Amino acid sequence: MKKGFVLITTLSVITILSFLILVINRTVIQDSVKTAIFNESILKRIQLINYEKFLIETLQNNSFQLRNLLLAEQEINSFMGEEYDGLKITFSDLNTCINLNSTVKRFRQLLIKNENNSTLFNRLFLNLGFEKNFSDNFYDRLVDFIDSDALPERLGAEDLYYIADEESNFTSDSFLLSVSQIKDLRIFDDAGYKLVSPYFCTIPEIYNKFNINSLSRENYLTFQSIFPEITLNDLEEIILKRPVTGYINLSHFHELTNVDEGKLIAENIIFKPEYIRIGYTLTLEGYEFNMNSIINLKERKNNLVSRSFAK
């Protein structure tokens, strides 16, 4: 009986070890494949970074494409598809959202509260179903998060409040780089953040301009927040009468529409984006890799604002 027991035990151990070896070998092979795919994604993303200058110059040299980013996106994807398999490029107009950095303005070398834009934020939050007190609280907290001094606004919080939070991306005396940084204000729950975040953006400016050629059902609340006298009928007319080549300028816009000139503020209307986000989605062997670049189209050189990567 003992010999039989030892034999069975030995066979069991051998079986278990064989199984473990198979699992380990499979894991090693899978890890090697994943590593190879990841390395290939890095190589291709480096190639895309080098190619990005061409994409930007193509847009800057083509007013027609800039006035119709959706069409430009289709043309670029058709062209790039011949060079890269599994690549999708998207253009997002960052002049169709409320700039979080417009809560402050420059005073000499300092960033201080911009009182003039609080009403704009109030309108947006009201359109989204928030109360004015919430909007005022958000505005003051955001100002304290960005501005140069360490003193709290009436409904804000001192810099020490944010510094004490080890997980906070506190940016005292500098502009926000990402909309996700408003999570650090500790004012939104997940549902609230998901609701408001599509209407915000972060560009290194203190103004809000809206590209009327990118007006759509997804961003019309932003447009109404900047131009409160615009009605739903006006919005419908602007979108329906917009030519494929886009409105060229304000005179051309008024020629094609019956929108009252007094409803629009000329300095807040533009007809080509000044800032865009170029999104790259690369699919390799079922794995998806992403890269995003924020570009300042007003500049011909040094026009990269920021770049991020994700798997």
Q: DSSP states of 164-206 as a string? A: T-TT----TTS--S-GGGGGGGS---HHHHHHHGGGEE--SSS
Q: What are the pLDDT digits (tens) for 101-160?
A: 999 999 888 899 999 999 999 999 999 999 999 999 999 999 988 988 765 655 555 554
- The structural domain count of the chain equals 2
271 within 8 A of 246, measured Cβ to Cβ: yes
User: Does residue 16 fall inside a structural domain?
Assistant: no
Residue 225 lies in a domain: yes
122 and 260 both lie in a single domain = yes
Give the whole-angstrom CA distance, residue 207 versus residue 267. Answer: 10
Residues 222 and 306 in one domain: no
Instruction: Output the pLDDT for position 179.
Output: 95
Whichever domain contains 233, its CATH number is 1.10.40.60
Phi, psi of 173 (to 5 degrees): 65, 30
Tell me what pLDDT residue 123 has: 97
Q: What is the mean pLDDT of residues 185-202?
A: 95
Residue 182 lies in a domain: yes
Measured in degrees and rounded to the nearest 5, phi and psi for residue 171 equal: -130, 45
**Is 165 part of a structural domain of the chain?**
yes
Q: Is residue 21 part of a domain?
A: no
Which position has the token pair 């420059």? Answer: 106
Contacts for 231 with CB less than 8 Å, ≥ 6 apart: none
pTM for this entry: 0.82
Do 105 and 149 fall within a single domain?
yes
Answer yes or no: do 47 and 136 share one domain.
no
Residues 87 and 102 in one domain: no
If asked whether residues 140 and 264 sit together in one domain, one would say yes
What is the model's pLDDT at position 27?
Answer: 52
**pLDDT value, residue 150:** 64
Burial (0-12, 13-18, 19+ Cβ within 10 Å), 169: middle
**What own/partner pairs with CB < 8 Å and gap ≥ 24 does 249-254 have?**
253/212
Helices 118-127 and 132-146, interaxial angle, to 10°? 130
226-255, pLDDT tens digit by residue?
999 999 999 999 999 999 999 999 999 999
Binning pLDDT at 50, 70 and 90, where does residue 18 land? low
Residue 24 has pLDDT above 60, yes or no: no
**What H or E segment, with its residue span, contains residue 60?**
helix 2-60
**Is residue 80, in this structure, part of any structural domain at all?**
yes
User: Are both 88 and 108 inside the same structural domain?
Assistant: no
Is residue 212 assigned to a domain?
A: yes
111 and 255, same domain (yes or no): yes
Q: In this structure, are residues 101 and 203 in contact, taking their beta carbons and an 8 Å threshold?
A: yes
Among 12-26, 103-117, 263-277, where is mean pLDDT lowest?
Answer: 12-26
DSSP 213: G
Range(s) of the domain holding residue 64: 42-94+273-311
- Domain shared by 187 and 255, yes or no: yes
- Both 210 and 239 in one domain: the answer is yes
Tokens found for residue 144: 């304290």
Specify the residue for token string 């020629």.
Answer: 255
**Does 231 lie in the same domain as 109?**
yes
Asked if residue 175 is part of any domain, the answer here is: yes
Percent of the chain clearing pLDDT 90 (strictly above): 61
In this structure, the answer to whether residues 239 and 109 fall within a common structural domain is: yes
User: What percent of the chain lies above the pLDDT cut of 70?
Assistant: 81
Question: In this predicted structure, what is the pLDDT of residue 285?
Answer: 82
What per-residue confidence (pLDDT) applies to 39?
74
